[in-house]
Amino acid sequence: MEVKSRQRFKNGRFKKKMDVMDCNNNVDLLSEEEKSNELQMFENNPTSPDKATNIAVTEYSDILQGRRIIDLAYFAKMLQQGCAGCEEPLQLVGCVSERKYGLASIFQIKCHKCGNITSISSGKRQNDEKNGQGPFDVNVKLGVALLHAGIGEAIFASILAIMNIPCMTSGNMKKVERRAGSAIENLAKETCDVILKDEAEKSSDSLSLSYDAGWQKRGSGKNYNSLSGHASMIGLHTKKVVGYSVMSKTCRKCDVATKSGNTVPDHDCRKNWGGSSKAMEPAMAVNILNEIKEKGIFKER
């Protein structure tokens, strides 16, 4: 494919990308010219099957719309591996249907040589010991990304909508976020244990730790009423976190059930504080120290 130079207006000024792009935000993967060339190639192919039904052409405009998140190396390799029937390399223009799994897709691609249909996914899946094939990598990463960026599913869905990327349901997004959350929590706890042992070995007689707490809502001078707070302790020698605590005054599931008069369903409740927000700070310090004590590493002076 030849690289086009930037387009210019008659007066010689360069056209901005926006001038060149389709203003309906409905930009296809290929320009009109490139697309018709690709279709032409497909139609002129002497081995092309079902020319009468014209499947590839009609399905092309119906299916390959908008944008997708693709693991390029994996996808290219799968296309190269080719047809399950005759091993002829596959072309994306032969896609006859697409099944969405969150942000991942499985494309059914028709071989232009033998007509066999081969399924190719847009990215790798994780191994699941129970069920064999686990969730798609891209969906797992989404859970981590939502937590890392600190945004909710509504904001992410609106970003994808503008980008013209098909989105997953908010319920599924919450699921992947929760799955990532528990994995990150376990990792944080394991890391703290390792650092605490290291700190204890480097300390001569007692542990020297620094401590600070913070709240998610800033105190205004009059009100110090944040609904949640967090704290961490850092070792003097390792300069790493040996313990942390998070406190929350509310839980959405509990609140909704209580307001509607229903019994509270069994859930991973994070409401663990009923006092004032300011009092969270000493309480979290005590929590962390008690946890360290329980681990049997705490050294009395």
CB of 52 to Zn ion, least distance (A): 19
**Shorter beta-carbon distance to Zn ion: residue 94 or 143:** 94
Residue matched to tokens 């376990």: 186
Please state whether beta strands 228-235 and 241-248 pair in parallel, antiparallel, or not at all (unpaired).
antiparallel
Its sign, for the CA torsion 45, 47, 49, 51, is positive
Query: What angle separates helix 32-44 from helix 55-63, to the nearest 10 degrees?
Result: 150
**Shorter beta-carbon distance to Zn ion: residue 46 or 221:** 46
CB of 216 to Zn ion, least distance (A): 17
Instruction: Say how many C-beta atoms besides its own lie within 10 A of residue 68's C-beta.
Output: 20
Q: Which of 202, 175, 220 is nearest to 297 (CA)?
A: 202
**Shorter beta-carbon distance to Zn ion: residue 125 or 270:** 270
**Shorter beta-carbon distance to Zn ion: residue 65 or 116:** 116
Q: Which of 220, 163, 196 is nearest to 292 (CA)?
A: 196
**Phi-psi category of residue 66: left, alpha or beta, with phi > 0 → left and psi -120 to 50 → alpha:** left
CA dihedral 10, 11, 15, 20 (to 10 degrees): -20
Distance, CA of 261 to CA of 115 (rounded, Å): 60
CB of 132 to Zn ion, least distance (A): 26
Phi, psi of 289 (to 5 degrees): -65, -40
CB of 284 to Zn ion, least distance (A): 19
**Shorter beta-carbon distance to Zn ion: residue 151 or 269:** 269
CB of 50 to Zn ion, least distance (A): 13
**Shorter beta-carbon distance to Zn ion: residue 68 or 113:** 113
CB of 277 to Zn ion, least distance (A): 18
CB of 96 to Zn ion, least distance (A): 13
CB of 99 to Zn ion, least distance (A): 20
Residue matched to tokens 């839980």: 251
**Shorter beta-carbon distance to Zn ion: residue 225 or 258:** 258
Residues that bind Zn ion (CB under 5 A): 83, 85-86, 88, 111, 113-114, 116, 251, 253-254, 269
Instruction: Say how many C-beta atoms besides its own lie within 10 A of residue 34's C-beta.
Output: 13
On whether the CB atoms of residues 277 and 234 are closer than 8 A, the answer is no
**Shorter beta-carbon distance to Zn ion: residue 96 or 114:** 114
